[in-house]
Amino acid sequence: MAGLPHNKMAMDPALVRLGNMSAQRYKYFRWTPRTAWISFMFLGVVPACVGYVAYTTDGKWDLRAKRRGDVISEF
């Protein structure tokens, strides 16, 4: 069983082309205003927002060893 070919069905040419394109996407990438804006958002704005929320809520909640009815917020 281990040596038998597993792809007995014909491969769909569109799926093969999609697989090749996604594997070689770096060859076809081009900087446009849209890709620059998306990159700026995901590399700058999103981490800044997550960092701001993490900094402002640091130490605000203590979830360790709480029982039902205990208050979660520390201040």
Q: For 6, which DSSP code?
A: S
Q: Look at residue 41 in the predicted model and tell me its pLDDT.
A: 94
Instruction: Output 2 or 68, whichever has higher pLDDT.
Output: 68
Integer-rounded Cα radius of gyration of the chain? 25
DSSP string covering 39-63, please? HHIIIIIHHHHHHHHHHHTTTTB--
**Tens digits of residue pLDDT in 35-66:** 999 999 999 999 999 999 999 988 787 777 77
Q: Is the pTM of this model over 0.75?
A: no
Q: How confident is the model at residue 3 (pLDDT cuts 50, 70, 90)?
A: low
Residue 75 and residue 61: Cα distance in Å, rounded?
8
What is the dihedral sign for C-alpha 56, 59, 63, 67?
Answer: negative
Q: Residue 24: its pLDDT value, please?
A: 93
